[in-house]
A and B are shown apart, each in its own frame.
Chain A
Amino acid sequence: MAILEACVFATVLFGFFGIILKKNLMMKILAMDVMSTGVIAYYVLVAARGGVHTPIASEESLVYADPVPQAVILTAIVIGFSIQAVMLVGVMKLARDNPTLEIHEIERSNTP
C-alpha cells in the first residue's frame, strides 16, 4: 500500500515538474494530464479497502466499501477532460500563428 501511495505521489510530482520544465505548450498540457491522473489514482487508492463488499444495495446488511471518493472523482475526471478539451482548442487557434508552440515565443509576443 505504501509503495502504491509513493508511486501515486511520484506521478503527481512528475506531472507538476513537467508543467514547469517542458518548453512546448502541448507538452505542458499533457504534463497537466499526467498530474491529474496521479490525483485520480490517489482517490481510488483512498477508497480501496480489502475484505469488504462492493457497495450494491442488497437484502442482507453487509460491510461495504466506501463509494464516495470514487463517485466524487468521476465528477473531477469529467471536469478535467472538458478543461483539457477547451485548452486544446485554444492551442489549435494559437498554432496558426505560432506553429512551433514554444511557450517563450508565445509569451513574448503576447505580453505587453
Chain B
Amino acid sequence: MNIVTIIWIALPFLVGFGIYLLPKLARALALSVALISTSYGFWQIVAPADLTLELIDRFGVTLMVDSLSGFFIFTNGLVTAAVVLYCWRNGKSAFFYTQAIILHGSVNSVFICADFISVYVALEVIGVAAFLLIAYPRSDRSIWVGLRYLFVSNTAMLFYLIGAVLVYQANHSFGFEGIRTAPVEAVALLFVGLLTKGGIFVSGLWLPLTHSESDTPVSALLSGVVVKTGIFPLVRCALMVPEIDPVVRLFGVGTALLGVGYAVFEKDTKRMLAFHTVSQLGFVLAAPEVGGFYALTHGLVKSALFLNAGNLPSRNFKTLQKTPIATPIWIALVIASFSISGFPLLSGFGAKVLTMKNLMPWQVIAMNIAALGTAISFAKFIFLPRGGEGQPKPGFWPAMVILLGGLFLANGAYYEAYTLENTIKPLATIALGWLAYLVIFRQLSIKLPRAVERIEHLIGVMGLVLVLLFGMVLA
C-alpha cells in the first residue's frame, strides 16, 4: 500500500515532464494519469487504507490517506479526465497537457498532506501551474488575470508561511495537530492564507474574475478541484482539532450567503457560476465531517456547468433568453442545474441532505437561505428557451458522460437519504426558488458594484480578515 501510494503521488510529475518529451502521446498520457487517480481515489472511498506516512525524525512532515482524501482525489481524477477529453480535438499543445497534469499531481498531493509545510509547497506549485494554464492563450487579458491570481495567492501564502513557523516554534513539528497548542496569531495567519487560496468569504472575491475570464476547460479545472485545495486543510484541521471547528463552520456560513447573494443578481453566466462556487465551498466547510461527499458532487457538477456555459451562444442571460439553445445542450445544462439545486435522483440531493443533517443548530436558517438562493440562481439556466441550432465542441459529450454519469452513480452512495421528509424539503426549496425567480428576480436588473474586485482591495481585504480572525480566535 505504501509503495502504491508513493508511486501514485510521484507519477503525475514524471508523466507531466514526460509529456514534453513525447508530445505525440500527450493526450493519452494525461488521460491515463487522470484515470489512475480516479481508481486510486475510488479505492480509498470504498476501502480506506487509513495510511500515515511520516518522514523520519520529528518534523511532523506527514502524508495521510483516508476516505476524506479519497473523495477529493476521486473528484480530481474525474474532473481532469473530463477536461482532457473535452480538449481532445481542440488542438491544445503538449505544454497545456504538461501543466494540466502537473496541476493534477500537486492538487493530489494537497489532498494527502497532513502538515503545513508540504501543503505550502503543493499550494505554490498549484499557483504557478494554474497561472500558466490561465495565461495559455497569451492575450493581454489572460496574462493580467493570471498575474492578479498569482499576486493574491502569493501574498496570502507569505502570511501562511509566518503562521507555519509559529506552529513549528510551539511544537517543533509542522503537523496539523500542532495548531491546537500554537499561539492565536499562528491560527489567524494560517487561516488567512488558506481562506484566500480557497476563495472563502470576502478574501475569496478574487475568484469570480479569475474563474470567469479563463478559458472554458481551465475554468472547469479551477472551479471543480483547484479551489478545493485551499479548503481541504481547513476541513482536515477542523476534524483533528475541535477548537477550530466553530471558526471553520462560521466561515462556511458566511461564504455560502455572500456567494449566493452575488450569484442571484449576476447577469453573466460564467460569473454567476464563479460566485456560486464561492457559495458552495461554504457548504463543504459548514459541515466538515461530510465535506468530502459535498466536494465530490460540487466538483463534478460545477465543471459540467462551466463546460456547458462555454458552449452556449452567449454569456449574457438577457441575450440567452432571446436565443434558443440546442436541445441536447439544454438537457445537459438542466440535469446539472437540477443536481446543484438538490433535486432527488441526482447526487446533489444526497449531498445537500447529508450536509443539512450535520449542521449545528445556529447554522440551519442561514444554510437553508443559501440553498434557496442556489435554486433561484439556477432557475436562470432552467428557464432558458430550447430548440435552437448549434453544435458543441467535439469533446463536449465524452466529458459530459463522465461528469453527469458520475452524478447519477454517486447518487447511489447515500441512498438512505430517500425518505419522504428528506425529499419534500428540497422540492419545496426548489419550488420556492423558482417562484421567487419568476416573480421577482427575472425582472430585476441590479448591477452590484465591482470595486471590491480591484487588486488593491483584494490585497487590503487580507489585512482586514487577519484582524477579524484575531478577534474570532481570541474570543
Binding site for B on A (CB under 8 A): 12, 16, 19-21, 25, 28, 32, 35-36, 39, 42-43, 46, 66, 68-69, 72, 75-76, 79-80, 82-83, 86-87, 90-91, 93-94, 97-98, 103, 106-107, 109-112
Contact indicator B169/A83 (Cβ below 8 Å): no
- Which residue of the partner chain, among B138, B213, B455, contacts A93 with CB atoms under 8 Å? B138
Residue of A nearest to B144 (CB): A110
Q: Which residues of A contact B174 (CB under 8 A)?
A: 72
Contact indicator B146/A83 (Cβ below 8 Å): no
Question: In angstroms, how far is the closest chain A Cβ from the Cβ of B454?
Answer: 6
Residue B165 at the A interface, CB < 8 A?
A: yes
With contact pairs A39-B158, A87-B147, A106-B144 given, residues A46 and B165 touching in the complex (Cβ less than 8 Å): yes
Q: Roughly how many angstroms separate A110 CA and B146 CA in the complex, as a whole number?
A: 12
Q: Which residues of A contact B453 (CB under 8 A)?
A: 111
- Which residue of the partner chain, among B121, B135, B145, B150, contacts A110 with CB atoms under 8 Å? B145
Contact indicator A107/B150 (Cβ below 8 Å): no
Q: Which residues of B contact A82 (CB under 8 A)?
A: 128
- Which residue of the partner chain, among B117, B128, B459, contacts A72 with CB atoms under 8 Å? B117
Q: Roughly how many angstroms separate A107 CA and B84 CA in the complex, as a whole number?
A: 31
Question: In angstroms, how far is the closest chain B Cβ from the Cβ of A109?
Answer: 8
Interface residue ranges of B237-270 to A (CB < 8 Å): 268
Contact indicator A83/B155 (Cβ below 8 Å): no
Residue B396 at the A interface, CB < 8 A?
A: no
Contact indicator A46/B168 (Cβ below 8 Å): yes
Query: What would 9 more interface pairs be, CB under 8 Å, given A32-B154, A97-B140?
Result: A12-B158, A20-B456, A21-B456, A32-B151, A68-B168, A90-B135, A94-B147, A110-B145, A111-B209
Contact indicator A103/B455 (Cβ below 8 Å): yes
Q: Which residues of B contact A69 (CB under 8 A)?
A: 165, 168
Contact indicator A107/B455 (Cβ below 8 Å): yes
- 22 pairs from A and B in contact (CB 8 Å cutoff): A12-B158, A16-B155, A16-B463, A21-B456, A25-B147, A28-B151, A32-B151, A46-B165, A68-B168, A69-B165, A75-B121, A76-B120, A82-B128, A86-B150, A87-B147, A90-B135, A90-B147, A98-B140, A103-B455, A103-B456, A110-B140, A110-B145
Residue B318 at the A interface, CB < 8 A?
A: no
Residue B172 at the A interface, CB < 8 A?
A: yes
With contact pairs A20-B456, A94-B143, A107-B455 given, residues A42 and B121 touching in the complex (Cβ less than 8 Å): no
Q: Roughly how many angstroms separate A72 CA and B162 CA in the complex, as a whole number?
A: 12
Q: Which residues of B contact A86 (CB under 8 A)?
A: 128, 131-132, 150
Give how many B residues have a beta carbon under 8 Å from the other chain's beta carbons.
42
Contact indicator B151/A19 (Cβ below 8 Å): yes
Contact indicator A42/B162 (Cβ below 8 Å): yes
Interface of A is mostly: helix
Residue B199 at the A interface, CB < 8 A?
A: no
Q: Which residues of A contact B95 (CB under 8 A)?
A: none
Contact indicator A83/B127 (Cβ below 8 Å): yes
Q: Which residues of B contact A112 (CB under 8 A)?
A: 213, 268
Residue B59 at the A interface, CB < 8 A?
A: yes
Q: Roughly how many angstroms separate A20 CA and B450 CA in the complex, as a whole number?
A: 18
Q: Which residues of A contact B459 (CB under 8 A)?
A: 16, 19-20
Residue B124 at the A interface, CB < 8 A?
A: yes
**In the A-B complex, the 9 residue pairs with the closest CB atoms:** A110-B144, A110-B141, A79-B124, A90-B147, A90-B143, A39-B161, A39-B158, A20-B456, A19-B459
Contact indicator A90/B146 (Cβ below 8 Å): yes
Residue B390 at the A interface, CB < 8 A?
A: no
Contact indicator B144/A94 (Cβ below 8 Å): yes
User: Scoring B residues 436 to 464 as 1 if CB is less than 8 Å from chain A, else 0, what string do you get?
Assistant: 00000000000000100111100110010
Residue of A nearest to B466 (CB): A16
Q: Roughly how many angstroms separate A36 CA and B155 CA in the complex, as a whole number?
A: 9
Q: Which residues of B contact A107 (CB under 8 A)?
A: 144, 454-455
Q: Which residues of A contact B209 (CB under 8 A)?
A: 111
Q: Roughly how many angstroms separate A36 CA and B168 CA in the complex, as a whole number?
A: 18
Tell which of A21, A68, A69, A86 has the most Cβ of chain B within 10 Å.
A68
Residue of B nearest to A15 (CB): B158
Q: Which residues of B contact A72 (CB under 8 A)?
A: 117, 165, 168, 174
Contact indicator A12/B162 (Cβ below 8 Å): yes
Q: Which residues of A contact B454 (CB under 8 A)?
A: 107
Q: Roughly how many angstroms separate A19 CA and B124 CA in the complex, as a whole number?
A: 19
Q: Roughly how many angstroms separate A52 CA and B138 CA in the complex, as a whole number?
A: 52
Q: Which residues of A contact B460 (CB under 8 A)?
A: 20
Q: Roughly how many angstroms separate A28 CA and B460 CA in the complex, as a whole number?
A: 13
Question: In angstroms, how far is the closest chain B Cβ from the Cβ of A78?
Answer: 10
Q: Which residues of A contact B154 (CB under 8 A)?
A: 32, 80, 83
User: Scoring B residues 39 to 70 as 1 if CB is less than 8 Å from chain A, else 0, what string do you get?
Assistant: 00000000000000000000100000000000
Tell which of B141, B459, B460 has the most Cβ of chain A within 10 Å.
B459
Q: Roughly how many angstroms separate A26 CA and B455 CA in the complex, as a whole number?
A: 14
Q: Which residues of A contact B168 (CB under 8 A)?
A: 46, 68-69, 72
